[in-house]
Amino acid sequence: MGGLTYSGKFEDRINELYSPKNIGKTAKKFKEYEKKNGPYAFGKFTKVLVPKKEDWADESGATGGHDKWEKHSGAIPKAIRDKITEVISTNLRSAKPMPLVLKVGENVDGTHDLKVRLFTHNGQMHIGLHMLCPNSSLK
């Protein structure tokens, strides 16, 4: 999962869908998805939630992340995928899901990492996911 590939319009679109204004609708769509497809696992709901290729544009405008999503998301270590699955599914299944903020970037080294934080913004609790991808300058 290249950091720059998912840090542009894709990140903005995810943050819009998980914003305080839209989290209820996103949770409803998630529950409908699980009812139809079975339990959520990281990566499986993303293209349902963000179906338009143009919403995957990175900072340079390229939309290649859409076509490479399965490959990139599958390359993330299982422990990190499992943690993302746990955080997102627990939140979206809850009676009062919290807004979520995603930040995607590059790590200092060649590894993936995930930072999960709870924080308050405008008087409301949020979940922060900071996904760090392998540093592209080290390839």
Q: Is the pLDDT of residue 6 over 90?
A: no
Taking the C-alpha atoms of residue 59 and residue 6, their distance in angstroms, rounded to an integer, is 8
pLDDT band with cut points at 50, 70 and 90 for residue 130: very high
- pLDDT 10s digits, 117-126: 999 999 999 9
Taking the C-alpha atoms of residue 11 and residue 107, their distance in angstroms, rounded to an integer, is 17
- pLDDT 10s digits, 53-62: 888 887 788 8
Backbone angles phi, psi at 99, to 5 degrees: -60, 155
Residues 83-93 have a mean pLDDT of 97
Asked if residue 65 lies in contact with residue 10, where contact means CB atoms within 8 angstroms, the answer is yes
- pLDDT 10s digits, 35-78: 999 999 998 898 889 888 888 887 788 888 888 888 888 889 99
pLDDT band with cut points at 50, 70 and 90 for residue 82: very high
Asked if residue 40 lies in contact with residue 85, where contact means CB atoms within 8 angstroms, the answer is yes
Tokens matching residue 61: 């405008």
Quote the pLDDT of residue 83: 97
- The sheet with strand 113-121 has its strands ordered as 100-106, 124-133, 113-121
Nearest to 83 by CA among 54, 126, 48, 112: 112
Residues 106-128 have a mean pLDDT of 96
